[in-house]
Chains A and B, each alone.
Chain A
Amino acid sequence: MALLELHGVSKVFSHGMGRVTVAVDNVTLEVGESEIVSLLGESGSGKTTIARMVLRILRPTKGRILYRGRDIWRLGRRETLWYYTQVQGVFQDPYSSFNPIHVVERPLLQALSRLKGVRGEEALRRVREVLRRIGLSPSEVLGKYPHQLSGGQLQRVSIARALLVEPRLLVADEPVSMLDASTRIDVLNIFAEMRDELGTSILLIGHDVSLAYYVSDRVVVLYRGGVMEEGDVSKVLDEPAHPYTRMLLDSIPRLDSRWRGRLRLHEPLHAIGRSGCLFADRCELRFNKCAARPRLVEYNGRRVACWLYQ
């Protein structure tokens, strides 16, 4: 049994007067034990909505989310507390994750007290130990307010908070996109160490393909709420099958080569339907079949939702 399973999960937001936005559209995916799975997508792909549903911040409109086989939206009070000892989150903007009027260790001590029942000297000892483990010296962090730390330091404190709970699954939503390039890699290294040394699984949400490539075992490529392609990094990113995955890979700026030719940006201005392939309007290879929605099918070691492979 996988650690986390999403079965046909959708999230629809309604704006009144019958208008709706389909943010997540029938997504099925799994996260296994001690693996890093990246959800890759641009804005509007539904990646953050998925993270929020897994963290029980948003309730899915349809479908089920199972943690160790149990529906996370059918947990009682005590089970919910247990769920948060197992699953923790790290968010994009560390400055908005911390209360500016409290010292930064406060939420760390609270997490220990509420979820682990650890208080007093022992709690402080653990906080110091975790801070050291992620490359912060306790003396430069303890007793400080959020604005006194750099974004990189504060984000590491927020990871420390999650680590203290010793979760089995960490949901990290764009954890490094606000950090400077030179400090991003350290955070990814911490994630890889958590996986390798503690067996933690990580659902890593992001838009940076190279970062996902660096640290993930598997990737799920999302577009407009749907899964386009999913599988091992070596398959999906080294030999991309879906036209969208290919376009994404062609667009990223690289340090070892410059772009060749011009990107043909096809952006429809009219409202786009959701009945067919979600990428059809921007796809150069579309043909008559694309008016219907393709299913995710096995193709050469990965799963892809494209009529070219059905």
Chain B
Amino acid sequence: MLRVEDLRVYYKTLSGYVRAVDGVTFTLSKGEILGIAGESGSGKSTLVNYIILPKPPMVRIAGSIVYRGIDLTSITPGELSKIRYTGISIVPQYAMDALSPTKRIRAIIRDLTRGRAEGDIEEKARERLRMVGLPGDVLDRYPIELSGGMRQRVVLVISTLLDPDVLIADEVTSALDVTMQRAVLEMLASFRDTGIVRSIILVSHDIAALYQVADRIMIMYAGKISEIGPAEEVIGDPLHPYTRALIDSVPRLGVRYKTRRLTGLKGEPPRLASPPTGCRFHPRCSVAEERCRAREPPPARVGKRTVYCWLYTGG
């Protein structure tokens, strides 16, 4: 469906480049939900935004993004905007708070689909809203009249009205209450199951939320992939020391300080204007060796997984 190859996207600043995405390679298959997890500054948002919404100060240094045989990095902005929304649709972070406050939902939909949609788009919207548990008269409401959970579902319905191949959803559940979080994630899975969208890239800082619906999970750290593979394997048996530390630092229900004390990751993530040499995780890694400091780890295949760590290179 989508293949990203050695993508490097930097931010240009007065004092040089900030290497936000630095050599990322992955594929998105037909019918799958790929979860991308990472902490703030890991590059996950930059990565997915660059795929379909590239704009300054993002600069592509290298790499390609191939969708249906077309390299999205080599086409004009005009051609890219034709693919946006109909082929690849993105719900950026905070989109639910960016709906125009002076327009009714109906007008927002009309503006977005003008010249792109065929048939009775309003009837389709009404049906989709019903599918996600919202009454059709939401179309007559202003965004401010809807709760956060309702707005987020409206945004997701609007973004998928033209049945795109790929839906990219960036932190769409992070501002929601837990019950609504679950409803929205289940709704996304049902979009995939009913063929409204073919594949989904779901970006979140919450790995437990991703785990609920993702088929594969990709963990990012400081602009690079640490590990990517089937969700059960990455969560159940993490290989990369960063993935392991991340999962160990999340308290599970049933774990109490009094009986089992957890520890967080020591130190701070690196500054991406001047990242460390070698593996970017080495300054915080408890098992780092000399080669981790000197050279970047190549991708290592372990079963269905790809891990970027010297422990698995077999050397």
Contact = CB atoms under 8 A, between A and B. Distances in A.
Interface of A: 42-43, 150-153, 180-186, 188-189, 192, 207, 209-211, 213-215, 233, 237-238, 247-249, 251-256, 258-259, 262-263, 265, 267, 269
B207 A255 contact: yes
7 tightest Cβ-Cβ pairs between the two chains A and B: A42-B177, A182-B265, A253-B208, A180-B39, A186-B264, A214-B251, A253-B209
A248 B256 CA distance: 19
B261 A189 contact: yes
Interface of B: 39-40, 133, 135, 147-149, 177-183, 185-186, 205-209, 211-212, 235, 245-247, 249-257, 261-265, 268-269
B257 A210 contact: no
B177 A253 contact: no
A188 B257 contact: yes
Given A259-B212, A265-B179, A153 B268 contact: yes
A281 to B, nearest CB: 13
Contacts of A259: 182, 186, 212
Nearest to A152: B268
Nearest to A249: B253
Contact of B256 (A43, A184, A207, A233): A233
Nearest to B148: A43
A255 B255 CA distance: 12
Nearest to A153: B268
Interface secondary structure of A, over-half rule: helix
A258 B215 CA distance: 12
- The interface centre, meaning the residue of A180, A247, A248, A249 with most chain B CB atoms within 10 A of its CB, is A180
Contacts of A213: 251, 253-256
Given A42-B179, A43-B148, A251-B181, A215 B207 contact: no
B186 A181 contact: no
A47 B186 CA distance: 27
A151 B40 contact: yes
Given A255-B211, A265-B179, A189 B257 contact: yes
Nearest to B153: A265
Given A189-B262, A267-B147, A267-B149, 4 more contacts: A180-B40, A185-B262, A189-B257, A253-B208
Contacts of B186: 259, 262-263
Contact of A185 (B206, B251, B253): B251
B214 to A, nearest CB: 10
A110 B272 CA distance: 35
Given A214-B256, A251-B179, A265 B133 contact: yes
